[in-house]
Amino acid sequence: MGKLFGTDGVRGVVGESLTPELALRLGRAIGAYFGKGARVLVGRDVRAGGAMIECALTAGLLAEGVRVYSAGLLPTPALQYGVKSLGFDGGVMITASHNPPEYNGVKVIAADGIEIPREDEKIIEDYYFRGVSSSLPWREYAYNPQVRADVLETYINAIVDMVDSDLIRRAGLKVVVDCANSVGSLATPEVLRRLGVKALTLNCNLNPEFPGREPEPTVESLRVAAETVKIYGADFGVGHDGDADRAIVITDEGEVIWGDRSGTLLTEFSAEEWRELPRRTYTGVSSSILVEQYLNPLGIKVVWTPVGSVVISRMIQRDGGAISGFEENGGYMHVPHHIVRDGAMTTALMAYMLAKERGSLSEKVKKLPRYYPIKTKIPMNRERALCAVEAVKKYYSGYRQVTIDGVKVIGDDFWVLVRPSGTEPVLRIMLEARSKEKAEKLLEEVKRAIDESCGPRR
C-alpha cells in the first residue's frame, strides 16, 4: 500500500504533487472514513491553492454523502476547537503549516478535535489507493455545504475565558506579534486586544506568498520581530507559523527561545495554576534535556514521546491527562483548554504568567539550564537515514539512549538526536552542549560516525 500521510498530514507542492485530482480522491477517502451523514467542518489557511483544494476535497466528501460545513479562513487550532465544542463528527484543515509557500496540505481531525490517530491515517490511505467511491441516489446530491461563521469567535472566546483577563489588563503588557502573513492574524491580535494587551503586529496582513518572512518561525526569520520587541519595549513577542498552531516566543531582551524553553516555563506556571492536573508533561524527543533537569526537581514527570503533535496529544489522552504537552518547535498544548498545540492560547497563557508572577521573561529564561543548540539536516534517502541512526546508536552505546523515534543520546553535559524526517528525504540532527565549541565538535563527531559506518556522503 502507498503512503500519503507524513508526520503531520498530507502535504505536497500545489499543482505538482498536490493536485485537484488528488484532493478529490482524498476527499472521497476521508468521506468514506467518516461515513455517510457525518457532519464535517472544513477550514483553510491563506496558502495558495487553498480554495482549489477545498472545492475539490469538498466535492469528494459530498460524493460520499458527508454533510460539509465551511469555517473559512482560520487557524488550525480554531478549527480543532470548533469540531470539539460545536459537536461535529470530524474536520478537515487545508494547510501545510510551516512548509515553504509553494506547499499546501490536508489534516484530518477526529470528533474530539484532535488529529486522527496514526492507525486511522492508514485506513484513509487504504481507501485512497483502492479508489473507494460510493454511488448514491440522485436525491442525496441535493445537499449544499453550509457556512459556519461562528467557529473563530467561539475559539477566541474560549481562550479569553481560560485566563484572568482583569489581571492581565491591570499588568499593562505590551506584546509584538508576527503573524507570518497568515491566519494567525485573525485570532492572536484579537485575543490580546480583549485581554487589554497593547499589541504591535508584524506581517499580519493575509498574503499567500508570505512576503514578510518564511512561514516557519526560526531565529533567522524572527530577527525583525526580535529587534522590534527591544525597540518597542515589549514584555515579549511571538512568531506564528503558517496555520498558527505554534508560537515561538521572544523575550523582552530580544532573545528568540525555542519551544522546549517556553514550554518548560509554562508547564511550571500551569502546574501551580491548575493544581488538579496530573503532575506530568509530555514532550517530543527533539526537546532539550533541560526539560527533565528543571521540571523533575519540581515533582513534574517528563514523558518523552516520538516527534509529532498528534502522537503527544493521543498519549496524553490515553494516559488520562497532563499539565501540558509541547515541542521544541513552539507547539504548546494547554490541556485544560484543548489537547492540541495552539499559538493563540500559548500567547494568552504567556501573558497570564507574566501578569501574575511579575518579573521579566528574560529573568525567567535565565533560571533554566543553559545549552548551546545546533539544528541541521542532511539530504539523504530513508535507507541511509536508518543506517545513520544505527551508526549513532553503536558509536554512543555507553550512554543513555531514547530510541522511540530515531535515537537520542543523553550525556552529562550534552544530548544529540538523529532521526529520519517524516516529511522530506533528509536526516535531522539536533544537539545541545554546554558550550558552542563542544556542540560544534559533537556535530562533527556524529557526522564522522555516520560516514564511517554508512559510507561517505555523495
Q: Which residues are catalytic?
A: 97
The C-alpha angle with vertex 228 and arms to 222 and 229, in degrees rounded to 5, equals: 90
In DSSP notation, 76-145 reads: HHHHHHHHHHTT-SEEEEE--TTS-TTEEEEEEE-TTSSBPPHHHHHHHHHHHHHT------GGGGG---
Q: Report the chain's C-alpha Rg in angstroms.
A: 22
Cell of 314: 493521543
Give the whole-angstrom CA distance, residue 117 versus residue 250.
32
Rounded (10°) CA dihedral 248, 254, 255, 256? 20
Nearest-angstrom CA–CA distance, 191 and 343: 11
Sheet holding 280-284, edge to edge: 301-305, 280-284, 324-326, 332-334
Phi, psi torsion values for 425, nearest 5 degrees? -80, 70
Does residue 234 contact residue 176 with C-beta atoms inside 8 Å? yes
The residues that bridge with 378 in the sheet, in sequence order, are: 427
Distances from the Cα of 351 to the Cαs of 119, 162, 363, in angstroms?
A: 37, 12, 15
Spatial distance between the Cα atoms of 12 and 10, rounded to a whole number of angstroms:
7
Cell 542532511, residue located: 378
CB 118 within 8 A of CB 311: yes
Rounded distance, CA 355 to CA 167, Å? 7
43 with 73: CB under 8 angstroms?
Answer: yes
Count of CB atoms within 10 A of residue 413's CB? 12
Q: Helices 76-85 and 151-162, interaxial angle, to 10°? A: 90
Q: Are the C-beta atoms of residues 302 and 325 closer than 8 Å to each other?
A: no
What beta strand segments (E) does 33-88 contain? 39-44, 67-73
Burial 294-333, CB ≥16 within 10 A → b, else e = bbeeeebebebbbbbbbbbbbbbbeeeebbbbbbbbbbbb
Q: What CA–CA distance (Å, rounded) separates 254 from 223?
A: 9
